[in-house]
Structure 1
Amino acid sequence: MPQTRMQLVVTGDDFGYCPRRNQGLVECFLSGGITTLSLLVNGSAAQEAADLAKRHSIPLGSMLTCLKECPCAPDYSSPPW
């Protein structure tokens, strides 16, 4: 009977938050510590992050922030709604 093969995927979050975080996440990816990154598409350094991902062939997912930094929607976390 063939053995089941498993793979661990480790995702680095908030890629695109700032240039310093971008550089740290790229270094982690290149050293093998993480396998994919989650791009904070409305982060202040998102374009730089996308360029870095393309340059280094880094697999990306995407995420939005709704409440902090540069929100993509109004803050509905407190009344009145």
Structure 2
Amino acid sequence: MSNSTASIRRSAPALGEVAEAADEPTSAAPWLTVVSDKVKSMRFGVVQIVIHDSKVVQIERTERTRFDVPQPAGRR
């Protein structure tokens, strides 16, 4: 990784720094708990975080249900 790329990546805020919901630096923002719960309760899917003016305003969850369907011999 080049030095210019490394400096760009370091200057971007970490995910926990996007919303300034917590007054104390040691407490987690409430949206982090919501995201964590949604991720832990699904097997397949997507969790999207919507941000406006550097604040988390919405969390969307799309869950997939997958079925293991056996394929007939000779077909893919």
TM-score by length of 1: 0.19
Structure possessing the higher radius of gyration over alpha carbons: 2
Q: Which structure features the higher share of strand residues?
A: 2
